[in-house]
């Protein structure tokens, strides 16, 4: 995994964590236009830790392994260029051609790990509509790994950051059931493709939930954030799996393992990160552990002027997703809560 650091670091009690889907950032004739738009958005976030999704990798002109050249161009000349950088990689150790996850951190990164079938093996499934018929069950694998970074805070504590991009609710291919990239030969094949896609999406949410359980079992006060494009609104099952609310588990004794949606602090009318066919959807999230939620100071979703992804006639200069940034007051509030001298924030 790529890990690029710079000396020093900003010492402050407010820690700003952001997530942003860059909408297939790649080298193209439009890259300069996209950089002008996206860089302005990134600078406005003033993030200390930035989780990015859909970062494509390119082949250098002189040959060699793929590199995040478009991202390098986007960050050039900005403070983020000097941040530590970690990214998902292929088994060969290089970034994938499309949809890499990237974490940029002003603070030191102690450990990095990616999770893809580390705790849940690929489920086996035999499609009913495949042509020719499939005789043996086939593994259903997640589309991308989840990227975890352990970040060293200035007071000696560790922040666990998980960058996640779940599969979109688009039907997965089924052998012999597609006439073209966007046309199906039967409604049954399309429906089964939706089932396979749902298994991928919820399955990876479950594996990430198991990771969160592990972190919070080791330390009930662990500082954990799951950030990214979950391709699911707050009421949908992938998000509910990650949140692990006592209302769903039926067991208040498990409340210490829940995650809280930081974006819930935003007024409902402004609580959306994507527009789709006139609907406002909250598909991008910052889900935080109880200890980190107690330190939540502010949240903002930069969705002013956000285009409708279904109605646009051309790709946007920026992104169809709005970035989200949350500020956390780590300068003593958590210590006060542990000592019973301050009431936790709720909401």
Asked if the model's pLDDT at residue 321 lies above 60, the reply is yes
Distance CA 20, CA 3 (A): 20
Q: Is the dihedral of CA 342, 285, 54, 314 positive or negative?
A: negative
Mean pLDDT (whole number) for 282-291 = 98
Q: Where are the alpha helices (DSSP H) in the chain?
A: 31-45, 69-75, 187-218, 237-243, 246-249, 290-293, 333-338
C-alpha to C-alpha distances, 104 to 88, 93, 157, 320, 341, nearest whole angstrom: 12, 18, 18, 21, 34
Asked if the model's pLDDT at residue 149 lies above 90, the reply is yes
Given pLDDT bands bounded at 50, 70 and 90, which one contains residue 12?
Answer: low
Phi, psi dihedrals of residue 45, rounded to the nearest 5° = -70, -35
Q: Looking at residue 199, what is its pLDDT?
A: 98
Computed on alpha carbons and rounded to an integer, the radius of gyration of the chain in Å comes to 20
Given pLDDT bands bounded at 50, 70 and 90, which one contains residue 1?
Answer: very low
pLDDT in tens, 199-208: 999 999 999 9
Mean pLDDT (whole number) for 195-217 = 98
Computed over every residue of the chain, the mean pLDDT equals 92
Distance CA 185, CA 43 (A): 47
Name the token pair of 57: 């990798």
Quote the pTM value: 0.92
Which of helix, strand or coil describes residue 54?
Answer: strand
Q: Looking at residue 312, what is its pLDDT?
A: 84
Which of helix, strand or coil describes residue 125?
Answer: strand
Domains and CATH numbers, the chain: 14-338 (3.60.10.10)
Asked if the model's pLDDT at residue 344 lies above 70, the reply is no
Q: Which residue has the higher pLDDT, 267 or 5?
A: 267
Given pLDDT bands bounded at 50, 70 and 90, which one contains residue 221?
Answer: very high
């Amino acid at each position: 995994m790529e890990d690029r650091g710079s000396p020093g670091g900003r010492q402050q009690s407010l820690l700003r964590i952001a997530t942003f889907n860059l909408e297939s950032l790649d080298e193209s004739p439009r890259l300069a236009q996209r950089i002008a738009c996206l860089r302005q958005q990134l600078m406005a976030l003033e993030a200390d830790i930035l989780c990015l999704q859909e970062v494509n990798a390119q082949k250098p002109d002189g040959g060699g392994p793929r590199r995040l050249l478009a991202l390098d161009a986007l960050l050039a000349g900005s403070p983020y260029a000097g941040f530590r950088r970690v990214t998902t990689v292929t088994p060969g150790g290089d970034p994938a051609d499309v949809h890499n996850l990237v974490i940029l951190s002003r603070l030191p990164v102690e450990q990095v790990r990616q999770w893809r079938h580390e705790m849940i093996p690929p489920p086996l499934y035999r499609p009913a509509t495949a042509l020719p018929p499939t005789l043996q069950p086939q593994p259903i694998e997640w589309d991308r790994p989840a990227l975890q970074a352990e970040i060293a805070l200035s007071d000696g504590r560790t922040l666990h950051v998980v960058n996640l991009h779940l599969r979109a609710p688009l039907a997965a291919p089924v052998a012999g059931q597609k006439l073209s990239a966007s046309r199906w030969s039967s409604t049954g094949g399309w429906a089964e493709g939706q089932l396979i896609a749902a298994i991928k999406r919820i399955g990876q949410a479950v594996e990430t939930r198991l990771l969160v359980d592990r972190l919070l079992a080791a330390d009930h006060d662990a500082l954990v954030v799951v950030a990214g494009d979950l391709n699911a609104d707050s009421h949908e099952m992938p998000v509910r799996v990650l949140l692990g609310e006592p209302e769903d588990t039926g067991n208040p004794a498990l409340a210490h393992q829940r995650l809280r949606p930081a974006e819930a602090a935003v007024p409902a009318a402004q609580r959306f990160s994507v527009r789709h066919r006139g609907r406002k959807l909250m598909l991008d999230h910052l889900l935080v552990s109880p200890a980190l939620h107690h330190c939540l100071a502010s949240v903002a979703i930069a969705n002013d002027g956000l285009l409708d992804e279904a109605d646009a006639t051309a790709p946007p200069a920026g992104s169809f997703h709005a970035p989200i940034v949350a500020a956390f007051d780590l300068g003593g509030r958590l210590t006060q809560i542990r000592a019973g001298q301050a009431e936790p924030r709720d909401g």
